[in-house]
Amino acid sequence: MAHDSPPRPTGPGSPQDMPPAPGQPPLSAEDLGRLPEPVRDELLAPDPAVIDTASKELRDGVNRCPKCGSTEVRHRTGSDRLVCLYCRHEWAATRVEEAFGLGEGIAELRGTQMASGARDIDADAEALRSYKCAGCGAEVVINTATAMTARCHWCRHVLGVNEQIDNGAVPDAVLPFHITKDDAVARIRQFVNKRRLFALKAFKDEFTPENVVGVYLPYMVVDARGSADAAGAGEIQTRRYTRKVGKSNQTFYDADVWRVQRHVDFTVDDLTLESSAERGNLDTRRNTHNVINTILPFDTKNAVKWNASYLVGYTSEKRDRDVAHLMPRLQDQMLSIARAQMEPSVARYNRGVRWEQERLNLQGTRWVAMYLPVWLYAYQEPGKGGGLLHYIAVNGRTGETMGSVPVQQWKLLLAALSIGTVVEALALWFIANAG
């Protein structure tokens, strides 16, 4: 929906700004009753609805081969399949969207819906979990802070943490690694080799890409439905000219200023938000965590139902942020998407539009906790306050690689001075030849 008010001519000189419309007062009970039904429903929505994504076949803590019953189950590298190390049977896990209908009904979302693994973390939940081995009945303790699988010390069955416990350790879905460690090592080595000229000497001496670690990082994957309204001023240039002001020429323009209003209804499918406070801490003075965002996106549509067997041989981090913590980040992302959707409708304003008022109505959301695969190489650069932690990250599905390499500052300064000298020499040469 678009609404543009008649123009207000300006000039000569810079255009005049129209004062913004007065702010909206807080909603009263009467105002609430007059709101559109979807908005009112969201404001008056009950507690979040929970979608049960627990794998019923895994609730005994044992990941069994469906053919022979062995618990020696591993992830087939480079695929989404599981393989039995005893009978060599392979099978494909069910995609989580197909299993629980998580890819459907986005346009009808109302209120807040959470999958089992996305529920609020119980502050009192401990990392140590006790499981009864289905093979022999022994009690086996698994420390979910460091591992998601363990062997029974009596019958050697492999137990996995598959129960949807409340400490953030078990997500709803996992996106298995496709990129192998050898491939990740090669990509990291290539990335660094292109930057060796300015790299810190200590980093080059200690660079060992074989130390890369495969880690499953916790994310919330969100479907959302919303609408947004924006109001502001748009300028259409009508004339441009130059005038002598003192000893110099200055450029002026005339423009028509329009009052612009836009409304957009939209949905978002599989928006990924980091659910680890540590990884979300983008303190550029201490770390380069932001490189992880540069290797997005992940093909989250291919995520499969949770099975701890996918984590064997990899490390993982627990989620420590709830939906309430991530809601402001989601709202920022949704507002950015809304602006992008409005942009084509304001193309006629050749001097741009300044949005002075914006409002987002988040009408419905669905949250799914998911593990996404990343190969990480870390290097701690010495310095004040503990130095800077550099990361090189490889997307475990696509191979997209990005990172931070510590540099010798004097080399950069020398290069800048050299380039400046060359540019100055070329400029003098052109001036001399022009004369």
Return d(Cα 72, Cα 349) in angstroms, integer. 64
Return d(Cα 48, Cα 256) in angstroms, integer. 48
The stretches in the chain having pLDDT less than 70 are: 1-2, 7-47, 56-61, 135, 153-156, 163-165, 280-286, 385, 409-435
Residues facing residue 354 across a β-bridge:
233
Q: Which two tokens stand for residue 352?
A: 């741009």
Domain edges within the chain: 2-404
Predicted confidence (pLDDT) per residue in 24-35, tens digit: 455 566 666 666
pLDDT at 227: 96
Contacts with 184 (C-beta within 8 Å, 6 or more apart), sequence order? 212, 214, 375, 394, 396, 399
Return d(Cα 271, Cα 221) in angstroms, integer. 5
pLDDT at 34: 64
Cα→Cα distances 139→49, 125, 128, 151, Å: 34, 19, 12, 11
Q: Which two tokens stand for residue 383?
A: 């310095």
pTM of the model: 0.79
Burial class (CB in 10 A: 0-12, 13-18, 19+), 164: buried
pLDDT at 416: 59
Q: Dihedral sign for Cα 118, 149, 122, 296, please.
A: negative
Can you say how many angstroms the Cα of residue 415 is from the centroid of all Cα atoms in its chain?
A: 35
Sheet strands side by side (includes 73-75): 73-75, 81-84, 90-92
Say if CB 64 and CB 309 are below 8 A apart.
no
